[in-house]
Structure formats: C-alpha cells, structure tokens
Structure 1
Amino acid sequence: MTQTYDAIILGGGAAGLMCAAIASQRGRRVVVLEKADQPGKKILISGGGRCNFTNLNTAPDRYLSANRHFAKSALSRYTASDFLALVERHGIAWHEKTLGQLFCDGSSKQIVAMLLEECRAGGADIRCDQDVTHVAHGNGQFTVTANGADITAAALVIATGGPSIPKMGATGFAYDLARQFGLKVVEPRPALVPLTLGGDDVLFRDLSGVSAPVDARCGKTTFHEAALFTHRGLSGPAILQISSYWRPGDMVEINFLPGRPRGWLRDAKRAAPRASIRSLLKDALPHRLAATLADRLGHEGDLQNLSDKVLDDAENQLLRWPFCPNGSEGLAKAEVTSGGISTAELSSQTMEAKRVPGLYAIGEAVDVTGWLGGYNFQWAWASGWAAAQEL
C-alpha cells in the first residue's frame, strides 16, 4: 500500500531534522527517511562531541558559493540568535569559545534530542535504516521507494548532505538525485580539510604535533588561528579554513610571527646585538618549530654580524613562508563538502528548484559552504527553516 504525506525529506541530519520540525509544527504531514541506524550522526561527532551548533558572527561573507549572495535571505530570516533561543528553551547549557563559536556544555546528544523532540511535537514521522532505491515524479507527486515500500508526497526535500566523512555513511546521493531532475551540480570537493606536503616541504612533517598561532594566507584570504603540523602536512583551524579557498597548484603562505611590526629584526639587532635569529625564534615559537625555521633560513651567528638586508630577507620569509601543498587528505577527513547542487537552480527564499515545482534542496547538499566554527550548522538550520515555510 502506498503511503501519502505532504512532504518527504530525504536525510535525517541537521538540515533535514530542522525542516521536518518546522514543517510538521506548521501542520504538514512529514516523513524523514534516514539511511543510517539513527538520525543526526554527524551532529553527534561534531565539536569534539559537544556540537559547535552555531556562530554569533554568522554573516553571508563567511560562506563560499558560486553565488555569494544566495545565502543572504535564509540567514537573515533564521539567525544564530533564533537557534540559540531554541537551545535555551530546551534548557541546554552552552558556552562561547573563541570567535563567536557556541558549544553545548554537555553533549551534542542534547542537540539531536532537541531536534527529535521538536519533530515529535509536530508529529513528524522519522524512519531510520531506510534504503531508498527509486525516486520518481509525475502528476505533481513524488514517489519514493524505500525498503520496498512506496511513499508519495507533493514535496520532496533533498537533505542528504555531501560525501564528506564516508565512514559515517555519507555519499553523493544528493547530486545523483539532482542530476536525475536536470539540476546542475557544482563540482564537489573536500573543504575544511588538512593539506598534505611533499617535495622540499616534506621536512616539515618531522614537526608532527607542533602547533602555533599563525596567519595563513591563500590568494587574498587570510585566517589568524592555530596551525598544526602533522605526519602528512598541515592542519589546525587556520589550515582547515584556508583549505576551502585553496586549489591544487596554489601556494599557502604562513606568517609565523603575526603581529610583529615591520623591521622587528633590525630593532632586535640594535637592542640585543649578541642575540641570534635562532634564539629570537625560540623565544617566540615552539622550540622544534623555531629550530627548523632557523635551519631553513640558514643565518647563524650574532645579529650584529648580519646586514640589514639579510635581516629584512629573513623577516620577509617568516612573514610569508611559502608552502606548496601537493593535495589534501580528501573527503575522508574533510569536515564538509564544497560545491553541490547549483544555487542557480534554486530560489534563495524557499530553496525550491526553479524548474521542478515541489523539489527542494537544503543544507550541505547545496553549493553553500561555511567557515569552520558553527557556520555550516547555521546554514543547515536556516535553509531547513526556509524550505519548511513553503512545504
């Protein structure tokens, strides 16, 4: 027997659950079909198990997309403050870390429980372990075959995310479905992902485990956060952030001493002529990193024996130390997927496909990728909310 609903939501992650909660509380009969054995699996592992559920500094310029204006509407109508109010209404204790990042005091399980409670309040039907084998559209209705049963609805919401972290069951299903309905897909690629080093840079892998606050630059974009050396290359918040802007062949430049004024080595020469570049670096950086940088610079001896030009050259290299990553750690380690269903195909107000009435796409499945630090969750909440207003 075919079951009929007002809306079928494919995917029980952040965006799908948010959409189901809002739509069902608006009186819509909603079913969520989730492939995994429980909903919200990516939520559960996020933020070290405490879920960085939003960011107080959310703004459209913190998102990457082929259309940099697309996210404005949804983000302005459902804000970080709106989601925070929901969190507080459920009595979930939270705290702000750095840079506007909000985390649960307790566990990310609280966010999943909150979303499921909101879905229950509206009577949304949440089904896990669902194997979707067929999706069809005709006569104004979508028909989804899952676990051998047919379900029909006038609206279908793609909320299955991107293929990052495949060990969690992530796939490119959203893109296959979009193409089935004639929607363009912006080439997906790993984002918020560690970068790998080879060639001359491979020596820096010996610093595995060393971290320092830096400025990481790629093109015109710079992030001031910590960088971490790994056995494969570069990671840490600054590198994850810049990876979303990096393309193969691009240089990544690291300022190892951010905040130092121009001419600081010349000033040090006058103030402490018997000091060395190596000793100055050891005073400012982890010793292993300082020793490696000093070795690569190659200027030993007292500052008083080095010319101002040599000092200026050393300062310039420390200011913009070039790395040429030979790749990234890929979708297996990427926190999110950049690219996805083209925003040119969707209404920025409703998330509905312009050429396929009743078809919606939300969350990570769409070509909208936020910075590290709760921005992608806020996009999930906002895009899910926007679609739910129209279901």
Structure 2
Amino acid sequence: MIEADVIIIGAGASGLMCAIEAGKRGRKVIVLDHANKAGKKILMSGGGRCNFTNYEVGPDNYISHNPHFCKSALSRYTQWDFLALVGRYRIPFHERDHGQLFCDESARDILNMLLSECDKARAVIQLNTSIGTIEQAIDKRFQLKTNKGNYICQSLVVATGGLSIPKMGATPLGYKIAQQFGIKVLPTRAGLVPFTLQPEDKAKFAVLSGVAVPCVISNKSRSFSENILFTHRGLSGPAVLQISSYWRPGEEIMINLLPGMDLDADLKSKRLQKIKSKLKTYLDGYLPKRLISSLFAEDVLELSLQDLSDKQIRQISEQIHSWAIKPNGTEGYRTAEVTCGGVDCNAISSKTMESNAVPGLYFIGEVLDVTGWLGGYNFQWAWSSAWCAGQYV
C-alpha cells in the first residue's frame, strides 16, 4: 500500500495546478493518470499555442446551474496571478481578440512550467495508471486499487475533466466517482462545439465550405459578435462555438450578417437616389459572392436597386440581418472543446472545492458544472479551482 497525503486523479491543467499548491504546503502528493503523457489537452489547445487565460475574466463568462459558485475561486486566484507565474518563467505570449492570451511559441511552454513547479513541490506524477476501485476506510482515508498497485490517502482530488475529445483520453470516471459517493451529477452535453445542419440546409450551403464572415449570432438567451465559418458538415467558427453552449436541440439561431449596418435604410436611400446597380453588385460589396448566391434566388439578385419595392427591401433586410437557421444538432463530444454540466456545484464548497457530504473528497476543473466561454476562460477556471483546493487538501 503506497501512502500519500493527497492523491489527485488527472494530470491535466487543474490536476497539475492543485499538485503544485498542495506540494508547496509540504503535503505528499501523487498525481495518477491513465494517459501516457501529462497535459495532453494543454498541448493541443489553441492550435498548439494554448489560450491559457484572458485579460477580462468574470462570473458572467461561465455557465452553471449555480452561477454564484465560481465567484469565490475566480476572485482568489485571478488571471493576474497566473500571469505572474507565466512571467516568472519568461514565457512569451500575445493577446488576440477579446483579451485572449496565447503562447508566442508553443503550448509546451505552459506544460513545462507546470511540470517544473510540480518538481519543485515534490509532487509525483504517475502515468499509465488506471483506477480500479475507490473505497473509503473506517478512518475516512481513501483506498484506491490500480493497475500499478494500491494507494491510500487523506485527501482525494478528482481532476478528471469532462467527456470532450475522447481520442485524447476523456472518460466519465469523475462523474462515476461522484455518483459512487452519493454526489449529484447534472446532465452533460457537448459545449463549444460546431453545429451540423438539417439535410436540406447542408446541401444548400455545402458550396460555402471554407467561407468565414463576421456576424452577430444569437438565441433567446445570448448573443455573440464573432466570425462564423461554413464547413462541409455545417457551421463552425468562434461565434458558433460560443452560442453552442447555450443552444438546445430544436431551437433556432439568428444570424445578423451585417451587424454594423441598417440595410433597410440604406437600400431605401439608394432607391431614392435612383441608383441602377443590381442588388447582386450592391451586396457583393459587403458579403462573399458564394454566400449571397446561397441566400437569394438569381432573379432577386438581378433586380435594380431603384426598382425594389418596400416589401422586397424588407425581405432582403430580414434575410441578411435576421437569418434564422435551425441546426440539426452538434458534432458532439468528438470535437467539443468542453463539457457542459457535471458534478453539481451545490454539493461542493465554493471556498475549498471539497464535497459537503464526503470530507476529504474534492472536485476541480471541468468535471464540475462550470463551463467557460471560448477564450481562455476554461483554463482560468482550472487554475482558480485547483489553486483553491490546493490550499486545503
């Protein structure tokens, strides 16, 4: 039986961060992971550049059945705290749109930093280790049986992540552990994920694969101003990924393809000026030709601006500003960046990340019902929640 003060299941972003903080306190820490490498999702994130946090982080950037839960952790370990760590390692980074921060060179810089900090904290990382059973002994310590031997610890931290990108090793282990100990797990679904289209829409818009346009995309609860990207399967791009976390099956989404413009007023102005240009020529100045041809019949595009009726102008404007489309579904966990839902935050202390009902059992990162927007928010939740747990395990 191998003894430790703290065992952390999962050598991803939150697991490594928690190991660092617990180790700093002199706790004997072992991190167990079934993968052959630590931090696989860190390495693939942000196109290999790791969007490790954001300049502007707040509770409004997160989805949870308990919207107040994330406030404590985010305020106690902020993006500035993580940036201070990045600064100590002199990792070069840059800002992209909306405050998103990426490594200049490689996501490996962030992983190497975390692994170096784990070494300093004397946290042991053991890979290729599959968890068999977990039991709580009479003395309340946790006993784990694995393919690499048996372990016992005072504090057990579940940092197993969600179900997204199963080819990277995602499993439902964290949810199963919660359920084993009587902790509620809320229904999960893919988040930050591309949409698939209904068969007729897929056939109609297949020719647009590779076309990207800025827009405002919205449903009944949210709107985002970002690019959409047409793919051979449906719709992707930052705007679509953002709204997907708020979308429910059967719901329409609205897309404003020219958000900075009042098309109705502009077309009426052109008509008053008796401009003879064709609608096709006019719209070509604002949107890709292939997109215009997919949205409007050729006979409409051939109309002269001076000949447009009020009804036609209204219909054209609605099609551009309020294009309604009902996705067939999403691409699912295969390509989802995150998992919405998870371990019920009402069962967890927002201060310590410890289970309210099972002393010594902690949950951090994506396994919890806290889902961030696209843009570094999910990594910041990993750092913040893990830091908090690390002060108490």
User: Which of the numbers 348, 351, 374 marks the counterpart of 2:350?
Assistant: 348
Residue 174 of structure 2 aligns to a residue whose secondary structure is helix
Question: Is 1:50–2:52 an aligned residue pair?
Answer: no
What is the one-letter code of the residue matched to 1:383? S
| TM-score (norm. length: structure 1) | 0.97
> Residue by residue, what CA displacement relative to the aligned partner does 1:130-149 show, whole Å, maximum 9, x if unpaired?
11111111221001112241
**Alpha-carbon distance in structure 1 between the residues aligned to 2:271 and 2:390:** 64
Matches within 5 A, 1:95-106: 95-106=94-105
Shift of 1:320: 1.1
- CA deviations on 1:105-128 (whole Å, 9 max, x unpaired) are 110001000001111111001111
Q: Is the 8 A contact 2:207 2:290 kept in 1?
A: no
* Structure 1 residue matching 2:41: 3-state secondary structure: helix
- 2:215 maps to a residue whose letter is V
Describe how 1:15-30 pairs up with structure 2 within 5 A. 15-30=14-29
Q: Which residue of 2 aligns with 1:245?
A: 246
1:284 is paired with a residue whose SS is coil
Query: Partners in 2 of 1:81 and 1:286 — Cα distance?
Result: 40
The alignment's TM-score, normalised by the length of structure 2, stands at 0.97
Counterpart of 1:274 in structure 2 is 276
Deviations 1:210-246 (A, max 9, x none): 1100111111311111000011110000000000000
Match of 2:318 among 316, 319, 322: 316
1:366 to 355, 365, 368: 368
**How far, CA to CA, are the matches of 2:162 and 2:197 in structure 1?**
26
Query: Does structure 2 retain, via aligned residues, the 8 Å contact 1:36–1:169?
Result: yes
Is the counterpart of residue 120 in structure 1 residue 119 in structure 2?
Answer: yes
Q: Which aligned runs of 4 or more in structure 1 are off by greater than 3 angstroms?
A: 296-300
Counterpart CA distance in 1 for 2:7 and 2:65 is 28
Alpha-carbon distance in 2 for matches of 1:313, 1:56: 41
Q: Which moved more, 1:327-336 or 1:131-140?
A: 131-140
SS across alignment from 2:318: helix
Distance 2:106 2:268 in 1: 50
Deviation at 1:272, TM superposition (A): 5.8
2:195 maps to what in 1? 195
Q: Does 1:388 align with 2:390?
A: yes
Indicate if the aligned counterparts of 2:34 and 2:127 stay in contact, CA closer than 8 A. yes
The question of 1:155 aligning with 2:152 is answered: no
Question: Residues 6 and 28 of structure 2 are in contact (CA less than 8 Å); yes or no, is this contact kept in structure 1?
Answer: yes
Indicate conservation of the 8 Å contact 1:225/1:237, yes or no.
yes
Q: Is the deviation greater in 267-276 or in 367-376?
A: 267-276
Which residue of structure 2 aligns with residue 86 of structure 1?
A: 85
In structure 2, give the amino acid aligned to 1:27.
Answer: G
The answer to whether 1:135 aligns with 2:137 is no
8 Å CA contact 1:269–1:275 kept in 2: the answer is no
How far does the alpha carbon of each residue in 1:269-311 deviate from its partner, in whole angstroms, 9 at most, with x for none? 2346212332222111122112222338945410111112320
Matched, 1:36 2:38: no
Equivalent pair of 1:297/1:314 in contact (CA under 8 Å): no
Q: Counterparts of 1:120 and 1:68 in 2: how far apart (Å)? A: 35
Structure 1 residue aligned with 2:333: 331
User: What is the alpha-carbon distance in structure 2 between the residues aligned to residue 277 and residue 220 of structure 1?
Assistant: 34
Where 2:205 maps in the other structure, the secondary structure is: helix
User: Which secondary structure does the structure 1 equivalent of 2:303 belong to?
Assistant: coil
Match of 1:164 in 2: 164
**Percent identity for Structure 1 against Structure 2:** 51
Q: How much is the aligned-residue C-alpha RMSD, in angstroms? A: 1.3
The one-letter amino acid of 1:215's match is: V
Q: Contact conserved, 2:183 with 2:344, CA < 8 A, in 1?
A: yes
In the alignment, the residues of structure 2 paired with residue 205 and residue 68 of structure 1 have an alpha-carbon distance, to the nearest angstrom, of 38
Contact 2:54 2:377 in 1 (8 A): yes
Alpha carbons of structure 1 residues 273 and 131: separation in structure 2 relative to 1, 3 Å? same
Question: Residues 365, 296 of structure 1: CA spacing in aligned structure 2 closer, same or farther, 3 A cutoff?
Answer: farther
Query: Could you say if the C-alpha distance between residues 131 and 302 of structure 1 is closer, same or farther in structure 2, counting changes exceeding 3 Å?
Result: same
Letter in 2 for 1:292: S
2-side partners of 1:232 and 1:279: how far apart?
29
Match of 1:60, as an amino acid?
P
Question: What amino acid sits opposite 2:10 in the alignment?
Answer: G
Say if 1:150 and 1:116 are closer, same or farther in 2 by CA, change over 3 A. same
Q: What residue number does 2:209 align with?
A: 208
The separation in 2 between residues aligned to 1:318 and 1:381, in whole angstroms, is 41
CA contact (8 A) 1:54 1:378 kept: yes
Contact 1:269 1:303 in 2 (8 A): yes
The residue type equivalent to 2:316 in the other structure is A
C-alpha distance in structure 2 between counterparts of 1:351 and 1:296, whole Å: 59
Check the 8 A contact 1:281/1:294 in 2, yes or no. Answer: no
What is the CA distance between 1:199 and its match in structure 2? 4.0
Whether the 8 Å CA contact 1:193–1:335 is kept in 2: the answer is yes
1:350 is paired with a residue of what secondary structure?
Answer: coil
CA distance in 1, matches of 2:359, 2:284: 63
Counterpart-to-counterpart distance in 2, 1:199 and 1:297: 25
Note the C-alpha offset of 1:80: 0.6
How many angstroms does 1:259 deviate by? Answer: 0.6
Indicate how the Cα distance of structure 1 residues 297 and 44 shifts in structure 2: closer, same or farther if over 3 A, else same: farther
State the number of aligned residues.
390
SS in 1 for 2:187: strand
